[in-house]
Amino acid sequence: MKKLIPILFVLASCTQKYASYDLIRKVDFNKESYERPITTMQVIPVGKDQLNSCFNQWLFFSNAEKEKNDSIPMIIRSLCPGKDYLLDSQMTETWWTTIVFTRSCVSIETHCAQLKK
């Protein structure tokens, strides 16, 4: 049994990454080069939204991590329909793999926001 535990660590691994964004303008969001948008009016919260999405990979037939990263801007745009801004967004990215299977997930929790008139 003692020999089995180190083997399991070699055969499977998991990582988690967290990121916070205080203000997101949905149409401009880019995770790699995020810059906080500048608004001339105050942004106020008007509700909450959450979305989870996972991508699977068997052997080398696809790339779950790339698919997840490519879909994050679309996921951001689909949160809070009818609103242009997101406040206090928390993004959790999870990735785990074994020799034959990989799963890459993203979970986003946010407050919907609109410009105060």
Provide the pLDDT confidence category of residue 2 given band limits of 50, 70 and 90. Answer: low
Provide the pLDDT confidence category of residue 40 given band limits of 50, 70 and 90. Answer: confident
Residue 10: its pLDDT value, please? 55
- Backbone phi and psi for residue 60, each to the nearest 5 degrees, phi listed first: -120, 25
What region, left, alpha or beta, does residue 32 occupy, with left being phi > 0 and alpha being psi -120 to 50 degrees?
Answer: alpha
Q: For the segment 47-65, what is each residue's pLDDT rounded down to a tens digit?
A: 999 999 999 999 888 899 9
Domain boundary assignment for the chain: 4-115
Q: What is the DSSP letter of 98?
A: -
- Are 54 and 84 within 8 A, CB to CB? no
Average pLDDT of the residues of the chain: 88
The whole-number average pLDDT for the span 62-75 is: 93
- Are 26 and 81 within 8 A, CB to CB? no
Distance from chain centroid for Cα 20: 10
Tell which residue, 49, 47, 46, has the closest CA to residue 117: 46
Q: For the segment 85-96, what is each residue's pLDDT rounded down to a tens digit?
A: 999 999 999 998
